[in-house]
Structure 1
Amino acid sequence: MTGVKEARPRGGRRWAIDLRPLGVPAYRRVWLGNGVAMFGFQFTAVAVPVEMFMLTGGSLWVGLLGIAGFLPLLVFGLWGGAVADARDRRRVLLVGGGLLWASTLALLVQALFRVGSPVLLLVLVAVQSIAFAITSPARSAILPRLVPAELVPAASTLNFTTFTATSVFGPLTAGLIFATWRTDVGLPIAYAVDALLFTVSFWATLRLPAMPPEPDPDHAAIPRRAGLASIVDGFRYLATTPVLLLSFAIDLIAMVLAMPRALFPEVAHERFGGGAAVGWLYSAIAIGSMLGGLTSGWIGRLRRQGLALVVAVAGWGLAVAAAGLAGQLWLMVVLLGVAGAADLVSSVLRQSMLLIYAPDRMRGRLQGVNTVVVAGGPRLGDLRAGGVAAGFGAGVAWVGGGLAATALAVLLVVAFPALLRYRAAAAPAADRD
Structure 2
Amino acid sequence: MLPDLSPWRASRDFRLLWTAGLITVFGSFLTFVALPLQLKELTGSAAAVGALGAVELVPLIVFGLYGGALADAVDRRRLILWSEAALGAVAAGLLLNTLLPHPLVWPLYGAAAVTSALTGIQRPALDAIVPRIVAHDQLSAAAALNALRWQVGGVAGPALAGLLIAYAGLETAYAIDVATFAFSVLLSRGLAPSPAAHDAQKPSWSGILEGARYAWGRKELLGTYAVDVAAMLFAFPIALFPFMADQLEAEWSLGLMYAALPFGSMLVSATSGWSARVHRHGRAVVLAALGWGVSMTAAGFAGNVWLVLLCLTLSGAFDMVSGIFRTTMWNQTIPDELRGRLAGIELLSFSAGPQLGQVRSGGVASLTSVRASVWSGGLACVAAVGLLAVTLPKLMSYDARTSEHARAVRLSRVGTGGAGGEGPRS
TM-score range (shorter-chain normalised) is 0.7 to 0.9
Partner of 1:243: 220
**Alignment partner of 1:298 is 2:298:** no
Partner of 1:431: 419
List gaps (5 residues or longer) in structure 2. 401-405
Q: Which moved more, 1:198-207 or 1:391-400?
A: 391-400
Partner of 2:230: 253
1:317 Cα offset (Å): 1.8
Q: Which moved more, 1:148-157 or 1:369-378?
A: 369-378
Aligned partner of 1:385 among 361, 386, 405: 361
What's the secondary structure of 1:142's corresponding residue? Answer: helix
Q: For residues 285-322 of structure 1, give each alpha carbon's deviation from its aligned partner in whole angstroms, at most 9, with x where no partner exists.
A: 22211222212111122111122112111222222223
Aligned partner of 1:351 among 299, 303, 327: 327
1:114 Cα offset (Å): 6.1
1:390 Cα offset (Å): 5.1
**Identity of aligned pairs, percent?**
37
TM-score, scaled relative to structure 1:
0.84
Aligned partner of 2:288 among 307, 312, 315: 312
Evaluate the alpha carbon distance shift between residue 266 and residue 52 of structure 1 in structure 2; reply closer, same or farther with a 3 A threshold.
Answer: closer
1:81 Cα offset (Å): 0.8
Is the 8 Å Cα contact of residues 56 and 355 (structure 2) preserved in structure 1? no
Q: For residues 188-217 of structure 1, give each alpha carbon's deviation from its aligned partner in whole angstroms, at most 9, with x where no partner exists.
A: x433322222233223322222212236xx
1:262 Cα offset (Å): 4.5
Evaluate the alpha carbon distance shift between residue 107 and residue 247 of structure 1 in structure 2; reply closer, same or farther with a 3 A threshold.
Answer: same
**Alignment partner of 1:201 is 2:184:** yes
Matched residue count: 407
Partner of 1:128: 115
Partner of 2:147: 160
Evaluate the alpha carbon distance shift between residue 337 and residue 172 of structure 1 in structure 2; reply closer, same or farther with a 3 A threshold.
Answer: closer
Evaluate the alpha carbon distance shift between residue 68 and residue 397 of structure 1 in structure 2; reply closer, same or farther with a 3 A threshold.
Answer: closer
Partner of 1:92: 79
Residue type matched to 1:276 in 2? W
Q: Which moved more, 1:356-365 or 1:387-396?
A: 387-396
Q: For residues 312-345 of structure 1, give each alpha carbon's deviation from its aligned partner in whole angstroms, at most 9, with x where no partner exists.
A: 1122222222333434333332232112101001
Evaluate the alpha carbon distance shift between residue 313 and residue 116 of structure 1 in structure 2; reply closer, same or farther with a 3 A threshold.
Answer: closer
Partner of 1:148: 135
Residue type matched to 1:20 in 2? S
Partner of 1:214: 197
Evaluate the alpha carbon distance shift between residue 338 and residue 147 of structure 1 in structure 2; reply closer, same or farther with a 3 A threshold.
Answer: same
**Alignment partner of 1:22 is 2:8:** yes
Is the 8 Å Cα contact of residues 96 and 135 (structure 1) preserved in structure 2? yes
Is the 8 Å Cα contact of residues 291 and 341 (structure 1) preserved in structure 2? yes
1:31 Cα offset (Å): 0.1
**Alignment partner of 1:367 is 2:343:** yes
1:246 Cα offset (Å): 0.6
Alignment of 1:229-240 (within 5 A): 229-240=206-217
TM-score, scaled relative to structure 2:
0.85
1:80 Cα offset (Å): 0.8
Q: Which moved more, 1:389-398 or 1:122-131?
A: 389-398
Is the 8 Å Cα contact of residues 289 and 341 (structure 1) preserved in structure 2? yes
Evaluate the alpha carbon distance shift between residue 395 and residue 150 of structure 1 in structure 2; reply closer, same or farther with a 3 A threshold.
Answer: same
1:117 Cα offset (Å): 4.3
Could you tell me how far apart the structure 2 residues matched to 1:386 and 1:192 are?
A: 29
Is the 8 Å Cα contact of residues 388 and 397 (structure 1) preserved in structure 2? yes
Could you tell me how far apart the structure 2 residues matched to 1:192 and 1:366 are?
A: 34
What's the secondary structure of 2:251's corresponding residue? Answer: coil
Could you tell me how far apart the structure 1 residues matched to 2:126 and 2:253 are?
A: 36
1:47 Cα offset (Å): 4.2
Partner of 1:8: none
What's the secondary structure of 1:235's corresponding residue? Answer: helix
Residue type matched to 2:380 in 1? A
Could you tell me how far apart the structure 2 residues matched to 1:121 and 1:263 are?
A: 18
Evaluate the alpha carbon distance shift between residue 179 and residue 294 of structure 1 in structure 2; reply closer, same or farther with a 3 A threshold.
Answer: same
Evaluate the alpha carbon distance shift between residue 315 and residue 415 of structure 1 in structure 2; reply closer, same or farther with a 3 A threshold.
Answer: same
Partner of 2:310: 334
Q: For residues 375-419 of structure 1, give each alpha carbon's deviation from its aligned partner in whole angstroms, at most 9, with x where no partner exists.
A: 221222233334445556556543443233223323322332111
1:30 Cα offset (Å): 0.7
**Alignment partner of 1:43 is 2:26:** no
What's the secondary structure of 1:423's corresponding residue? Answer: coil
Is the 8 Å Cα contact of residues 60 and 117 (structure 2) preserved in structure 1? yes
Q: For residues 27-86 of structure 1, give each alpha carbon's deviation from its aligned partner in whole angstroms, at most 9, with x where no partner exists.
A: 0111001110111222333444565567x4654765555444333222211111111111
**Alignment partner of 1:416 is 2:399:** no
Could you tell me how far apart the structure 2 residues matched to 1:262 and 1:105 are?
A: 23
Residue type matched to 2:140 in 1? P
List gaps (5 residues or longer) in structure 1. 1-14
**Alignment partner of 1:224 is 2:201:** yes
Is the 8 Å Cα contact of residues 235 and 357 (structure 2) preserved in structure 1? yes
Could you tell me how far apart the structure 2 residues matched to 1:122 and 1:394 are?
A: 22
Residue type matched to 1:45 in 2? F
Q: For residues 95-150 of structure 1, give each alpha carbon's deviation from its aligned partner in whole angstroms, at most 9, with x where no partner exists.
A: 21232233334444555676944444443443333222211110111111111011
Residue type matched to 2:129 in 1? I
Residue type matched to 1:236 in 2? R
Could you tell me how far apart the structure 2 residues matched to 1:107 and 1:266 are?
A: 23
Partner of 1:10: none
Partner of 2:403: none
Could you tell me how far apart the structure 2 residues matched to 1:267 and 1:128 are?
A: 26
Could you tell me how far apart the structure 1 residues matched to 2:51 and 2:379 are?
A: 31
